[in-house]
Structure 1
Amino acid sequence: MEETVVTQRPNGTSSTPSKTTTPIPHDPHAAPPFEAHDVQRILDFYWTNAKDPHTIRRKEILKKYPKVTKLCGHEPLTKYISFCVVMLQLSLAYYLRNTSPLSFKFLALAYGIGGFCNQNCFLCIHELSHNLGFKKPLHNKLFSIFVNIPIGIPYSASFLPYHQLHHKFLGDETYDTDLPTKFEAMFLSSVLGKAFFATFQIFFYALRPMFITQIKFTYIHLLNVIAQFFVDYLMIKFWGPKSVLYFVLSSFFAGSLHPTAGHFVSEHYIFKPPKNYHAFVDTPPIETYSYYGLLNLVTWNVVL
């Protein structure tokens, strides 16, 4: 018996990932061991005996470019770059403290600078969750709380355990909370539904994990909440609520229809699904695409 990774729902090939890992026979033509009432569930997914596409792609890269292993490990420059990004966002929040949130200047800066900066913060927290900023895990966790400041709401401490589950249980419908739910697949598979998902995916990304599985609340979570709300309180008291609104709006733009949000598409979505989606496929559809453009300068080469 091997594990099969379900890679994508056929009716959501460009924006609705699939979501389960189930034992199946070695025979690629044998029917999965499901009851009759599970037939529709079977037809909803691509089934394969191969490992997940991330593993396959990693092996291909290492085989073709073995020197890439020299680039693995923590990057000392991360903390300096991130510090500058956080300071830039704090400076803009102060600058906009008396500016109407509906004004062109406020919206333009939130989208044109804040969106890039906060996506940088999101992805820096991702890098830190893999302990790539410092050698010691605790230092990565604490610095994540600092990088969290421009996001406006406590996020970094929860991201770490959920993201670890994503890597450990890739494709599992219970623990991989990066995968959209069946509700999302059913109601957001149309063009309008996908447009809605792409526009507001930051909310799906933030709220979905809490509805899927629970994680243990630790002192790092408490520290993240206290630090973030303390900074927000100081900003509101001395600069006004518009400064905090700038942070929140920047976060929304960063995870919405924004150039830097394109990495979600590069990392997780399928563009060329198998024609016979209800059959077993020998090789999982590729759902990770490389990007070599200028946006890598602000996204930590996340889709390189």
Structure 2
Amino acid sequence: MDAPIKHRHCDTTFTFSTPQADAPIEVLNEFYWTNDLEPHVMRRKQILAKYKDVTKLTGWEPKTKWYVMAIVALQCSVAYYLRNTPVLSWKYFLLAYIIGATSNQAIFLAIHELSHNLLFKKPFHNKLFAIFTNIPIGIPYSASFQPYHQLHHKFMGDEYLDTDLPTRYEGIFLSNLLGKAFFATCQIFFYALRPMFITSIKFTYIHLLNVISQVLFDYIWIQSFGIKSFLYFPISSFLAGSLHPCAGHFIAEHYVLNENNRPRNSEIIDGCNIIPAPPETYSYYGSLNLLTWNVGYHNEHHDFPYIAWTKLPALRAMAPEFYEPLPQVKSWCGVLWSFVFDDVNLLWNRVKRQGKEKHGHKIAKLDENQN
């Protein structure tokens, strides 16, 4: 493996080990390991020091709830419309793929916004609305997503706490053409099931309420409109996390792909060496952000998790010198294609950090902060 790359920003030195894209397979078949803190904390401090008005962008976005309610109503309307349509028909599949998967991807990401308390002022109201938003997914999901996603932000890259990271077993068995195709097709199952095998979280009354509400809704829906109508919901959820253009964001956000799988040079900003973010988080600024609450602004989101989706473009416009030099993803569809078919793109291509504390202690602290 290449010697670690050292970048210096003023009084801080970063060390990051990055094998070349054409390195031997024995070198590539391992995660990127770093001892440094994730890059977003430092960039947040730099931006706040230079642009104090950034704090004015933080806070909830009240109008989002109306969009979410419209999407939930749309999904329920299409499910009702398909109540007498055979599940194994082109009409059913096309509506589930075009409308259902696109809408449920927006539902997933609305729950993501709610996990940061960005729809209502009070956290409890966000939790309750997330349970309502969960309806078109078909299975209870929202209550579990929030604590796991908070861990992803607070301990990004931690081998135990960041369940967005693939496991070693996934890297071993799925880093080949068929394995990557299976992973890209069934991403939703990996993201749903992986956390339960890595890190346990406390089961709370919000989880119970989420389960009871969803099961009750599902039962009433099936009794009222039949199983064909109900299956539209979970099928839409599966397709939303499968080979769908909007699903490209799952891989695009944090996988080290293609030309980014190489060492990068530092940038000079205001006479000081500024290291571009280690190839760990990538932003996408294309048109699909219109359907996904600007989740493509992912560096911006990790830098300031409490800025709502409507204001992330304003953050980038306010501090362009911090974001324009960073690596970007041009196409989510292109990411899905290159991830599967380019030999250099593997499930190993993620940045990991050794967990230095007992992760149970970390989760206990997180639970305290959430209450």
Task: Name the CA distance, whole Å, in 2 between partners of 1:81 and 1:147.
Answer: 11
Instruction: Give, as a single letter, the amino acid of the residue that structure 1 aligns with 2:296.
Output: V
Task: Name the CA distance, whole Å, in 2 between partners of 1:6 and 1:254.
Answer: 34
Task: Name the CA distance, whole Å, in 1 between partners of 2:231 and 2:198.
Answer: 29
Q: Report matched runs for 1:76-95 at 5 Å.
A: 76-95=62-81
Which string of whole-angstrom CA distances, capped at 9 and with x for unpartnered residues, describes residues 88-128 of structure 1?
00000100011011111100000000011100010000100
Conservation of the 8 A alpha-carbon contact between 1:5 and 1:171: no
The reply to whether residue 103 of structure 1 matches residue 89 of structure 2 is yes
- 2:138 aligns with 152
The reply to whether residue 249 of structure 1 matches residue 242 of structure 2 is no
Conservation of the 8 A alpha-carbon contact between 1:152 and 1:247: yes
Deviation of 1:54 (Å): 3.7
Q: 1:225 aligns with which of 211, 217, 240?
A: 211
- 1:32 aligns with none
Deviation of 1:7 (Å): 8.9
Deviation of 1:78 (Å): 1.1
Conservation of the 8 A alpha-carbon contact between 1:5 and 1:52: no
Deviation of 1:162 (Å): 1.0
Unaligned runs of 5+ in 1: 14-39, 276-281
Task: Name the CA distance, whole Å, in 2 between partners of 1:9 and 1:227.
Answer: 48
Q: 2:244 aligns with which of 242, 258, 271?
A: 258
Q: Report matched runs for 1:78-227 at 5 Å.
A: 78-227=64-213
Conservation of the 8 A alpha-carbon contact between 2:19 and 2:27: no
Q: 2:283 aligns with which of 273, 290, 293?
A: 290
Task: Name the CA distance, whole Å, in 1 between partners of 2:165 and 2:16.
Answer: 11
Q: 1:302 aligns with which of 295, 300, 315?
A: 295
Task: Name the CA distance, whole Å, in 2 between partners of 1:85 and 1:266.
Answer: 25
Provide the secondary structure at the position in 2 that maps to 1:126. helix
- 1:28 aligns with none
Which string of whole-angstrom CA distances, capped at 9 and with x for unpartnered residues, describes residues 33-57 of structure 1?
xxxxxxx999834344543244455
Task: Name the CA distance, whole Å, in 2 between partners of 1:236 and 1:7.
Answer: 53
Task: Name the CA distance, whole Å, in 1 between partners of 2:17 and 2:140.
Answer: 31
Unaligned runs of 5+ in 2: 1-11, 264-274, 298-371
Provide the secondary structure at the position in 1 that maps to 2:253. helix
Instruction: Give, as a single letter, the amino acid of the residue that structure 1 aligns with 2:278.
Output: P
Which string of whole-angstrom CA distances, capped at 9 and with x for unpartnered residues, describes residues 251-292 of structure 1?
0010011111111123111122246xxxxxx87632322222
Task: Name the CA distance, whole Å, in 2 between partners of 1:263 and 1:157.
Answer: 22
Instruction: Give, as a single letter, the amino acid of the residue that structure 2 aligns with 1:218.
Output: T
Conservation of the 8 A alpha-carbon contact between 1:8 and 1:270: no
Instruction: Give, as a single letter, the amino acid of the residue that structure 1 aligns with 2:261.
Output: P
Task: Name the CA distance, whole Å, in 1 between partners of 2:226 and 2:70.
Answer: 23
Conservation of the 8 A alpha-carbon contact between 1:291 and 1:303: yes
- 1:26 aligns with none
Task: Name the CA distance, whole Å, in 1 between partners of 2:199 and 2:19.
Answer: 21
Work out the percentage of aligned pairs sharing the same amino acid: 64
Conservation of the 8 A alpha-carbon contact between 1:174 and 1:213: yes
- 2:329 aligns with none
Provide the secondary structure at the position in 2 that maps to 1:144. helix
What's the TM-score once normalised by structure 1's chain length?
A: 0.80
Conservation of the 8 A alpha-carbon contact between 1:48 and 1:284: no
Provide the secondary structure at the position in 1 that maps to 2:117. coil
Task: Name the CA distance, whole Å, in 2 between partners of 1:232 and 1:295.
Answer: 30
Provide the secondary structure at the position in 2 that maps to 1:268. coil
What's the TM-score once normalised by structure 2's chain length?
A: 0.66
Task: Name the CA distance, whole Å, in 1 between partners of 2:172 and 2:31.
Answer: 13
Which string of whole-angstrom CA distances, capped at 9 and with x for unpartnered residues, describes residues 172-204 of structure 1?
111111111110011111122111111101000
Conservation of the 8 A alpha-carbon contact between 1:118 and 1:151: yes
Conservation of the 8 A alpha-carbon contact between 2:241 and 2:247: yes
Conservation of the 8 A alpha-carbon contact between 1:50 and 1:284: no
The reply to whether residue 273 of structure 1 matches residue 261 of structure 2 is yes
| Structure 1 residues 270 and 42: CA distance shift in structure 2, 3 A | closer
Instruction: Give, as a single letter, the amino acid of the residue that structure 1 aligns with 2:56.
Output: K
Deviates more, 1:120-129 or 1:162-171: 162-171
Task: Name the CA distance, whole Å, in 2 between partners of 1:81 and 1:66.
Answer: 30
